[in-house]
Structure 1
């Protein structure tokens, strides 16, 4: 398809397509690398957040144990237990003396309002000793942000509470408190014989405190004999842990951190969050169960419908319980920088492509326009317009190279065309020439003969065949000139020292004249020879005959226009004129032909196609008898006009009474 497009369209299109492919590949590679790097960095960041939160939670419980051991495992607690147990009247189901103030929830943030029943319980007079114990526990509770501090008698009665809420004064072995976390913590502290500090129950909703998620730490209050005289219980509020988990550092806008147990979420996650059954994509399985089994890590989970999330899981242990601290964030938010990078890359890439396309158009035009001009010049050259000027020859690029090569090709074609025209003209002229011509190369091999030469060789075929073995007029081309001319070495030597060479050759009765001329190139290199053949057989015979009768018979030569050229002494005697006075005289002025009444006898002689004509003539210059004569037509040499020779056939002159000849003879049979 691209092969059918013009360069000014194709080049920008290819540049844009190449740019799009490069942009796509660059965007794909950059996005993939950015995605991988962001997911890895996001996972490590979430893992660091989870580990940090886990460390804070564990530090909270370590601090709790240290505080309990330092502040609550001492004789003061035993004295307080005994004082508050003694202050409780089982008969009236109320304290004998009141202690402390009912806390104002505005002074203790996060606390609920005290119950009305507790206000009714605190009706007795204040006991300063009990107030001192109350202040001790209240100070600890506020400082550590405990939910409450309880002292419980061995029979399950809650004889002390800092908050004095609905639990105060209740028996934990009765409904609805039996089975609560506080009741379980009391029973564990009461039964503990090991003296451990900080026996803890798991977090779970605590009904008396509006279902607030709470855990309880219990301590058995022992006397010097090791007998448990009561149980101190501290209620831990999940809000403290939730505060740690609720911090946004490292979680972005969609992230969250939470502490999860087997069937409880302690803090940080929404109430409707369900982490159970969340399978990791390509991971080992259920996040919560695997985390509770001690398998931490960074997992990707979710699907295309709800989206994917990245979760870092860190297992921790608090007391006898296993928990999982997780930090989770939506993958889309983690990959948001990659999406922004992709958008910016595409935007910048499209602007760059627009610029490249415009640049490509200008670049393509800078190529296509001169190429089109060169193409037009090639079309003109193909149409044999070799005078066409080739554009773009002055360019220094490949187009300029093409234009210069094309110009050289044009010049070569022009020279070849000129040569071809000249050769065609010369060949036509050579072929149509009345001269017998042949061309011989520099090795003396015949390469061309014209029709006139073949006619000449055919005319003397018998004589040439007797002199030259294997001669045939049609078999000359390709033969060596020495086949016709003995001594070609001498011919070559003579042509090297002279421009032309002439030799008369005898072939039996045939007499041929050879004229040869060397043909050289513009650099003086020998190309071959031009050889002209002339048939001089009759000329030689006539010359021999004339030489024989010159002293015995009158003889005169005439040009084709009838003017005398030369004459011998006998002809001068016959006419009574000298040779100088005869020269240039016309036939009609000198001679009277028998039967000629209008002076046109010479014209009739020329019209005859015979080579010899018999006639009777008398001189006009004097009264003299007529002579019987023969008029010979002798062909001229080297393109010269023929020569007409008048020869008397009888001498001395006869008398005037000789019988007349009535007309000019038309054939040799009329020869006397």
Structure 2
């Protein structure tokens, strides 16, 4: 197989086009197929999810409507009256066994079929129960038919079913007979729940029904707020299946049902015969998701349909019911469109490849043949053969553009050869112009501004000569104006330098005066600041004196209180001494009486007389000592009284001193505040003087700088005049400052 680079273009180009077209078609087809497949899968899952959500909403609406209806019926006075009346009239039936009689009338002896017993409204037996039945039965029958219930019950608080719409085997029985049944469970829950709450029992076997049923119940209250009974309804699986399949369109390829978290089916399959209600479901991924109460979207899972399927798992939020919805769709039916698209895409790719091969071959030949012709024309132009006919000039494509471009190129080659001869003649004229311009520029380099070119140039070079001469004329005029301006600058700078020098002298004098004034204000500010400091210290001293005086007043007050306490103690001591004096006096009297009695006793009382004499002597001494202590105490009381009076006068004097010290302290404080305010004002003035002094010093420096700048400007003006004097402006331009003139030099080419 030859290398691709060695193949001729007539073979290489078709092969490349076919390869590119095939790759493009295959790539695009695969992309379109993958996008279509993904879109179909997404649409299938989205449609399944919508159907599952519709079924969930319909089921939630069914359960919510049933709960709402039960709660509404429980709150109606007619239901309370119906329970009360039915309970009361059962006992009024004039039969030995009223319950058996009523069951015979409305159930066993009902003229309608077993599944049509509710059609009997009036039994015609004239009993009070029949009158109540005629009154309330049409209302409950209508509610049952409107909502699709299996049955409706009125139950007394004792648990007796006093009324049911369908009159099945549980009519006039006690719910306590089957305590594990759903009806018994919701009855007991309703008795224990709050008003407005509905008790729910999930689908389970019921002894009085061949199928699994669910129950809802709510308490019925009397006017006094006590529970008068329970109203309950029975739900069948048919209503649940109908709600789930209301928006289902898959036929036997789809199955929808509800499952509790324990994996038990709470509704039969929507496809008839797959599995009944209450069947334990196999441990598939969708049932595992139900056990976890998780929403899931699964693909390729085993299903109850017996095929691989896609499945939707959607937990339901239904109070009292632990349900999750499961929707299974056969995978082959859901993705049948994908297989058809795959076959269509393969066929389209094959047909497109065959068409691409033919079209590419024809297109390549239509391109390669003109290229060969253009190659021959290009080789002829390379050999300087301008007479060869170029083919393809009438084509409207890129090859035609190339042929026309080649034809244009041939014309330009001819023109280039003719222009080469003309360029030789023009080169000689250009050389003469260059020589004239070089000579004039040399003169201009030496400073000669009068070097105009007088000899005219050939052709368009004449414009160059005229422009050069006009430029010289304008340059001479500008240089003359510069000379005059330089002289004016020198004169004005001299005047400015004099004014700046004089201003600098005046500014320096002003700065010296401001500096002296600022120094005087600074000294005055310092003196006032010291005065303010001394006034402040004096104020602090007066405050201290006042504080000490106030403390002395407290001490005097304490001393007066202590003197009063001493005086009171002295008075108490005086009382005690008086008591001791009285005791001594009484002891003396007793001793005297004892002496008298001892004398009467004679010798037998001699010893007692001696003792009485001693006691009398001791009493006398105690009386004398008490009298001395009393005298001392009286003197001490007088001294204490004098001390109290003196301390009081000292306290009054200290109070007067404190008032005077307070007044002086206030005056000193006011003086200190005033001096401090004056000090702050002078400090501001001092700061302003400092700022003014600094600005004056700066103005003086700027004046000196302006004088120096004027001197420099004058020097620069002189230098500018010297520089301009180097140029020769010709006879028509004379410098007034430099006094020179130059004759113009005329150059001829």
Q: Normalised by the size of structure 1, how large is the TM-score?
A: 0.46
TM norm structure 2:
0.42
Q: Which has the higher strand share?
A: 1
Q: Comparing both structures, which one devotes a greater share of its residues to helix?
A: 2
